[in-house]
Structure 1
Amino acid sequence: MRLIRLGVGLLLVLGLLAGCTSTPSVVTDYDPEFSFGELTRFRVELAEQEDGNSLLISPFTLSHLQRVIESHLASRYESAGEDGEADFVVRYHIVVEDRLDVRSYDQRYGFGYYGYGPWYRYPYSHGPSPRVYRQGTLIIDIARAEDNKPLWRGVAEQRLYDGLTPQEQRQRLSAAVTEVLSNFPPVR
C-alpha cells in the first residue's frame, strides 16, 4: 500500500513538473502562391527596436538572436553575407508588453480551516483577481529580397518571468527561434 502511495505521489510530481515546462506558442503564415523551393541564399538584417518596452532588450541579446537565426538558416540555405545578393531577407523583432490576466476563483471547494467541501452551504468566493504579467513575442519575417514582398511570418509568444539571467533569456530565445524556423519553409 505504501508503494502505491509513493508511486501515485511520484506520478503527480512528474505531471506537475511537465506542466511547468512551457514552450512558446508558435503561429506561422505564408504566401500560398509563392514557390519556396526557389530560395537558395539569405541575408539577415539587423533588428530595429523602436518601441519603448523593446528598448529594454540588451543589444547583446539581439546580436545573439541574429547569430542563432543565421546559424539555423545556414544549415539549409547559403548565406549571402550583409551586402551580398540574396533571394530572401530575414527580419526579426522582439516585443515585450505587459498584459492583464483577470481570473476569479471559488474558495468554497478549497482547503480552509475546516476543510470546506461541496457540503459547505455558504458559497465563500472572491471576486476577480487581476494579475499583470509580461508577455514576450518574437516575430520573424521573411521577404523576397528584390522587392521586399512578404513571403512568410513566424510568431512565438511566451509568458516572461522575472529573475532570469541574460544567459537564460538567450537560451529561451534560441529555443523560440528553433520552434519558429522549424516551420520554414512551409509544407503544403
Structure 2
Amino acid sequence: MLNQLKKHLVSARTFAIMASLLMLSACGTTPDWDYDKSVEFANYKTYAWSAEASLQARPQNYQVNGLMEKRIRNAITEQMASQGFKLTDPAQADILINYHVAVDKKLEMDTFKVSYGARWSYWGWGVDHHTTAREYKVGTLVVDIIDRTSNQLVWRGAKESRLRAKQTPEQRTESVNKTIAEILANFPPKVQH
C-alpha cells in the first residue's frame, strides 16, 4: 500500500508540474496601445522613418543588432504598405515612425505544494513546498507614430515577450513579423462607439 501511495503522489506532482508549465507557455502578452483621440488618423497617407529610429543607439542585448533592426524595418514597411501607407521623404511625410527596444531581466518563481501520506516512522499527512526561481530576459518592442507637422507623438504600440536564444534567422524573422503585425493591428486606431 505504501508503494501505491508513493506512485500516486509522484504522478500527482508530475501532473501539477505539467499543468503549470502548460499554463505558463499559454500566457502571451497582448500589445498595448495608446493614442491621441483628437487626431484624425484618416488624414495620414504617407510616412517616413524618424531620425531617432535606431536600435543601435542603446544596444542592451546581443539580439539587438543591425540584423534585428533590418527585420523590424522590413516588417513595419510591409504592414504599412498593406494598410495603404506610402514610404516617402521625411520632409513630405504625414507621419514619422520611430521604434525602440528595451530589454529587462525578470524573475519567475514557481511554488508547488506536495502532499504525502507516510513517513518511515509514522503515518500522517504533510505538505512540502518546492520553490524554483528562474531569471529570464524580456524584450519590449515599441513603435511610435509622430505627426510630422506638429512633431507630437500621436500613437504608440508596444509588445513585451520573452527573448529566446538559439533561434535560426528564419525563426527570428517570423517572430519579428508576428510582433509587428500584432502591434500595428490597431494603427490607425479602430474607432470605438
Range class of TM-score, shorter chain: 0.7 to 0.9
Q: Contact (CA 8 Å) 1:41, 1:87: kept in 2 or not? A: yes
Q: Contact (CA 8 Å) 2:97, 2:145: kept in 1 or not? A: yes
Structure-2 residue corresponding to 1:8: none
2:41 aligned to which of 27, 36, 39: 36
1:186 aligned to which of 175, 185, 189: 189
Cα root mean square deviation, aligned: 2.8
1:136 aligned to which of 126, 129, 139: 139
**AA aligned opposite 2:33:** T
How much identity, in percent, do the aligned residues show?
25
Structure 2 gap segments, 5+ residues each: 1-20
Q: Contact (CA 8 Å) 1:68, 1:174: kept in 2 or not? A: yes
Structure-1 residue corresponding to 2:86: 79
Structure 1 gap segments, 5+ residues each: 1-15
1:147 aligned to which of 147, 150, 153: 150
Q: From the two aligned structures, give the one with the greater strand fraction.
A: 2
Q: How many aligned positions are there?
A: 165
**TM superposition score normalised by structure 1:** 0.75
Segment of structure 1 superposing worse, 55-64 or 45-54: 45-54
Cα distance in 1 for partners of 2:166, 2:87 equals 38
CA offset at residue 102 of structure 1? 2.5
Cα distance in 1 for partners of 2:66, 2:59 equals 14
Structure-1 residue corresponding to 2:173: 170
Alpha carbons of structure 1 residues 80 and 159: separation in structure 2 relative to 1, 3 Å: closer
CA offset at residue 161 of structure 1? 2.3
CA offset at residue 100 of structure 1? 1.0
CA offset at residue 101 of structure 1? 1.5
2:129 aligned to which of 125, 131, 149: 125
Cα distance in 1 for partners of 2:26, 2:127 equals 34
**AA aligned opposite 1:88:** I
Alpha carbons of structure 1 residues 141 and 53: separation in structure 2 relative to 1, 3 Å: same
Cα distance in 2 for partners of 1:137, 1:176 equals 10
Q: Contact (CA 8 Å) 1:54, 1:94: kept in 2 or not? A: no
Cα distance in 2 for partners of 1:21, 1:49 equals 32
**Are 1:47 and 2:54 matched, yes or no?**
yes
CA offset at residue 25 of structure 1? 2.1
Structure-1 residue corresponding to 2:75: 68
Cα distance in 2 for partners of 1:40, 1:120 equals 73
Q: Contact (CA 8 Å) 2:146, 2:152: kept in 1 or not? A: yes
Which whole-Å deviations, capped at 9, do the CAs of 1:129-167 have from their partners, x for residues lacking one?
221011121100001012220100001111122221232
**TM superposition score normalised by structure 2:** 0.73
Cα distance in 2 for partners of 1:149, 1:140 equals 14
Alpha carbons of structure 1 residues 75 and 50: separation in structure 2 relative to 1, 3 Å: same
